[in-house]
Amino acid sequence: VRIPLPVSNILWEHCIRLANRTLVEGYANVKKCSNEGRALMQLDFQQFLMKLEKLTDIRPIPDKEFVETYIKAYYLTENDMERWIKEHREYSTKQLTNLVNVCLGSHINKKARQKLLAAIDDMDRPKR
């Protein structure tokens, strides 16, 4: 069955969006992450994009920034993380919480971690 190009593009867009959202969800499920692990996340995503660009003509890639921004957040310092959390409401509470626990967990004290987790919780309250 031939699929018209506009329909094919819509299907590709939805599939790509779902794949990118799934990548972020997968990254949000990691328990530990070293600097090498973070670099591998970026490398894996770049490989994914390269293969995707060969498969489809969809440009720009939907939700590409959503994934890239999340991966880059692993490199933020404690002070930058609080600002970043407040600016990026597009991520779920679980995704933000894991980011704090995994990327800053070993580098900050318990009080600072609790402050960041409270900021996430405060941000989530209006949704409830």
Residue 73, Cβ density class (10 Å: 0-12 exposed, 13-18 middle, ≥19 buried): buried
Q: What is the pLDDT of residues 49-96, one digit of tens each?
A: 999 999 998 899 999 999 999 998 888 887 888 888 888 889 998 999
- Determine what percent of the chain is predicted with pLDDT higher than 70: 92
Residue 21 has pLDDT above 70, yes or no: yes
Q: Could you tell me if 56 and 1 lie in one domain?
A: yes
**pLDDT at residue 104, as a whole number:** 64
Which structure tokens are listed for 7? Answer: 């329909």
Cβ-based neighbour number of residue 58 at 10 Å: 16
- Which residues form the domain of 28? 1-74
Q: Could you tell me if 4 and 50 lie in one domain?
A: yes
Closest CA to 28 of 123, 96, 83, 78: 96
38 contacts: CB under 8 Å, gap ≥ 6: 71, 74, 75, 103
Query: Structural domain tally of the chain?
Result: 2
Tell me the pLDDT of the chain averaged across its residues.
Answer: 87
Q: Could you tell me if 66 and 5 lie in one domain?
A: yes
**pLDDT at residue 86, as a whole number:** 85
